[in-house]
Chain A
Amino acid sequence: MSNKECSELYERIIEDVIAESRQDFEDGGIDEQTLMDLKRIWRDKLSKTGVASFSWDLKRQQYDESSNLLGLGDDQISSQTYQEQFNPTGSDANSGLHIQGLHLPQSDLALPTNSMKQEDDLGGMNIALPGGGRIGQSDGTVTFTVEGKQAEELARKLRRTQTDGQGDLGDDGNELGSDLGVDSDEINSDLDDPDDDEINSADDNEDQEYNIMLCLYDRVQRVKNKWKCNLKDGIANIDGRDYAFQKATGESEW
């Protein structure tokens, strides 16, 4: 079964909630950028759950493909063996980019354009600074702080393309470490214990619940040990996918 309707529902919920929260943000003196960040983080976290596929995932995929056309494809940078370390505090970021040292053998990282490519035949590492300066260095670790859109762009690229080693990425409003197992809500995690069938099992934590249906009931009937229920307006998580329904009817024997 396609759960397209659920994807559409979720996308609409995000749009509506963001739109309706705009006034609340204004009243609280919080800027639009924070609202947009909320939307972006929300979408990212939702995508990571894998409960449905969303239009923004598709756009990102198309973006990847166009990147490939520009010669910036994953295969060119997938052989990274270095560690990146962004400074998540974002402090002292006014000048845009700080480089304290780097360990990026055989790569060529250009900021703040969208390009990031690696040239394996070059022995050294070059980073182009916004001001046009370049730093070449062959050992040490790199710590730099990037702000705004460019940071998002770069961080996303790095996160997407890193295939080995450990990454510790972050900038203002980004929790990029969370897809590296730090904050994992994945199915089959310890939270999804099949032996735990207590009715209260999930009530004590606010983590993601699995194989659960949240809905309204119109009617619940019982004849001897046979139960029938008429449900509506529900969201169900079934086998790792989410489904939305207008009506559901169930029969079960106790």
Chain B
Amino acid sequence: MNAPTYYEFYRRSTIGTSLTDALDALIGEQRIQPQLAMKVLANFDRVTSDNLRDSVKSKLTFKGHLHTYRFCDDVWTFVIKDVNIKFDDNETVNVDKFKIVACNSKKAGEV
């Protein structure tokens, strides 16, 4: 039995960093062991991947100047400048610089 593996990179999101901070606080106070924190983070990887796949419906598009691209270890990284991001409701946001880290959808947690 091979349990599906989940990407860990969502830990870099705001919800992920706030969880890591919270776990660090509890570890610092010696209320939990780092091993337990790792299990919680593994749960986070799974829950986040599943929820993103199953319950999010929004779409967006973006246009900009590709400043840097990289493909390494099956991960695409783009730095895009002067980006215009358009959401579902036609509202747009412009940002000077935007970074995308994208993992291969084929190896995601889904079996």
Contact = CB atoms under 8 A, between A and B. Distances in A.
B59 A247 contact: yes
B36 A218 contact: no
A99 interface: no
A238 interface: yes
Interface residues of A, number: 72
Contact of A218 (B17, B47, B68, B105): B105
A66 B36 CA distance: 38
B51 A12 contact: yes
A235 B13 contact: yes
Contact of A235 (B15, B46, B91, B105): B15
Contacts of A194: 96-97
A214 B9 contact: yes
Interface residues of B, number: 75
A87 to B, nearest CB: 14
Nearest to A207: B17
Interface string B35-47: 1100110011011
Contacts of A227: 66, 69, 78
A38 B40 contact: yes
B104 A16 contact: no
Contacts of B20: 206
Interface string A189-221: 000001001010010001111011111111010
Query: Chain A at the B interface: mostly helix, strand, loop or mixed?
Result: mixed
A232 to B, nearest CB: 6
B79 to A, nearest CB: 6
Interface of A: 1-2, 5, 8-10, 12-14, 16-17, 20-21, 24-25, 28, 30, 34, 37-38, 41-42, 45-46, 49, 51, 172-173, 175, 183, 185, 194, 197, 199, 202, 206-209, 211-218, 220, 227, 229, 231-239, 242-254
Interface in B13-58: 13-15, 17-23, 25-26, 29, 31-33, 35-36, 39-40, 43-44, 46-49, 51-53, 55-58
A245 B97 contact: no
Interface string B80-94: 110101011101010
B25 A24 contact: no
Contacts of A199: 68, 70, 77, 79, 99
Nearest to A216: B105
A215 B108 CA distance: 11
